């Protein structure tokens, strides 16, 4: 095991064991290196690596802290990786969306508070089939994001949000080229929203599956052509 990897593993064990809790300050560098049996160089490299993935927060002049370790914070690193997706992997992201989003939508039907349901309805009224495609897709992204948050599961919400971004170009493309795509999207969004408001999780799950599957099916055909 490389020295830096060993240092990362030892700091990870400190946090997972409860020796350092979320939000707490780590011992100063010299003391921590001695405690873990590491060189200060290895420790610095490990701290740098863990700060990049939001496990540690290095505050100049103050010290190094464990972050809140919230799922949304830790999964931010995933968005960096997702940014490097290629066009030929968009279908794979849609497949993941088809797995995750129906589950999130079903949970939202059980857990989304009335005030958040009202916000979801407002999003539906914010655009029409005559809206610019970019505005329409922006509202589409926000619609799905609110549903994911409404699931009450922060890990699931973060994953859904990260998987959604690589499909933006495909959504714009569909809106510009497929006849009645915007009408279909609005109708499916209304059905999803109604199922959530009616607290019908399986109906909400079904409509979400239909919605994502429709985009995926269109893209497969479009790429094949």
- Place 80 in a pLDDT band, splitting at 50, 70 and 90: low
Domain(s) of CATH 1.20.120.530: residues in the chain: 74-224
Q: What is the mean pLDDT of the segment spanning 183-195?
A: 95
CATH entry, 3-69, from 1.10.274.10, 1.10.10.10, 3.30.70.1560, 3.40.50.2000: 1.10.10.10
Q: What is the pLDDT of residues 90-142, one digit of tens each?
A: 888 889 999 999 999 999 999 999 999 999 999 999 999 899 988 988 999 99
Between 1.10.10.10, 1.20.120.530, 2.30.30.30, 3.30.420.40, what CATH number should domain 74-224 receive? 1.20.120.530
Quickly state the pLDDT bin for 210 (edges 50, 70, 90). very high
Full 3-state SS string of the chain: CCHHHHHHHHHHHHHHCCCCCCCCECCCHHHHHHHHCCCHHHHHHHHHHHHHCCCEEEECCCEEEECCCCHHHHCHHHHHHHCCCCHHHHHHHHHHHHHHHHHHHHHHHHHCCHHHHHHHHHHHHCCCCCCCHHHHHHHHHHHHHHHHHHCCCHHHHHHHHHHHHHHHHHHHHHHHHCCCHHHHHHHHHHHHHHHHHCCCHHHHHHHHHHHHHHHHHHHHHHHHC
């Amino acid at each position: 095991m490389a020295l830096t990897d060993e240092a990362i593993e030892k700091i990870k064990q400190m946090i997972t064991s409860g020796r350092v809790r979320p939000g707490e300050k780590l011992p100063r560098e010299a003391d921590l290196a001695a405690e873990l049996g590491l060189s200060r160089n290895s420790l610095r490299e490990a701290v740098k690596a863990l700060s990049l993935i939001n496990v540690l927060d290095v505050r100049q002049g103050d010290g190094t802290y464990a972050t809140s370790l919230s799922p949304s914070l830790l999964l931010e690193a995933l968005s960096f990786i997702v940014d490097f997706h290629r066009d030929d992997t968009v279908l794979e992201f849609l497949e993941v969306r088809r797995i995750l989003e129906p589950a999130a939508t079903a949970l939202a039907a059980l857990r989304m508070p009335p005030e958040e349901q009202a916000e979801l309805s407002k999003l539906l009224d914010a655009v029409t089939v005559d809206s610019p495609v970019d505005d329409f897709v922006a509202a589409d992204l926000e619609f799905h994001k609110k549903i994911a948050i409404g699931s009450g599961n922060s890990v699931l919400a973060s994953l859904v949000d990260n998987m959604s971004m690589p499909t933006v170009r495909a959504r714009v493309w569909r809106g510009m080229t497929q006849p009645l795509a915007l009408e279909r999207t609005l109708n499916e969004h209304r059905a999803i929203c109604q199922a959530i408001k009616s607290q019908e999780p399986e109906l909400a799950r079904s409509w979400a599956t239909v919605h994502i599957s429709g985009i995926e099916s269109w893209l497969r055909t479009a790429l094949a052509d």
